[in-house]
Amino acid sequence: MTILYILLGATGLVLLWLVLVYNRLVRGRNMVREAWSGIDVQLKRRADLIPNLVETVKGYAGHEQAALARVTELRAKSLSGGGAAEQGRVQAELSRALAGIFAVAEAYPDLKADASFRQLQGELTNVEEHVQLARRYYNGAARDLNIAVESFPNNLVAGAFGFQTVEYFELEDAADRAVPDVSFK
């Protein structure tokens, strides 16, 4: 009878451990989803500002069509979705293209003085900061989930229930890690 109690106790402990690990993995997966949603919201806000910015610049520097068309093209790509790695690449290209737009604006004192342009510039700077914060949060949630999925013995439960590691939202080019300078003096 004692052996039966020991076996039941051991089985109960193993089941309790399985439930705890499974719940931890589910919590981690949901944190990653929530964090990605935060990035998605900020990227959408950024994309919503771009048409206004392009129109404002076009009014002053209409002959800079190549730079404006590139920004518009990358905005469309950024809205098409994709995984964290793909979004990181597209967002890095978009940041470079926006920096080019702001460089174009340097040549147009009237544009730099335009209230609408200055307001858009300020909003874009604010959104860039929010994107950076959302990216940090996502990467922290992704790190926690990845550790839980890869750690032994959690990896046994993760593999049995189909949990996988997630990719980080990173910028591939070291130059892209810097937030573009969008201030005009």
Q: Is residue 50 a contact partner of residue 72, using CB atoms and an 8 Å limit? A: yes
Whole-number Cα distances in Å, 115 to 48, 56, 123, 127:
18, 10, 12, 18
pLDDT top residue among 127 and 103: 127
User: Is 183's pLDDT higher than 60?
Assistant: no
User: Is 56's pLDDT higher than 70?
Assistant: yes
Domain segments of the chain as ranges: 22-177
Return the SS3 of 180. Answer: coil
pLDDT at 113: 73
pLDDT confidence bin for 184, thresholds 50/70/90: very low
Instruction: Tell me the pTM.
Output: 0.77
Q: Is the dihedral of CA 15, 21, 23, 26 positive or negative?
A: negative
22-177 placed in CATH 1.20.1440.20: yes
Please state, in angstroms and rounded to a whole number, the distance separating the CA atoms of residues 152 and 21.
11
Of the listed ranges 14-23, 81-90, 139-148, the one predicted with least confidence: 81-90
Per-chain mean pLDDT for the chain: 86
Q: Is residue 161 a contact partner of residue 19, using CB atoms and an 8 Å limit? A: no
pLDDT confidence bin for 148, thresholds 50/70/90: very high
Summarised one tens digit per residue, pLDDT across range 7-44 is: 999 999 999 999 999 999 999 999 999 999 999 999 99
- Top mean-pLDDT range of 23-37, 95-109, 111-125: 23-37
Whole-number Cα distances in Å, 160 to 151, 155, 156, 164:
14, 8, 6, 11
pLDDT at 185: 46
Summarised one tens digit per residue, pLDDT across range 156-179 is: 999 999 999 999 998 665 454 455
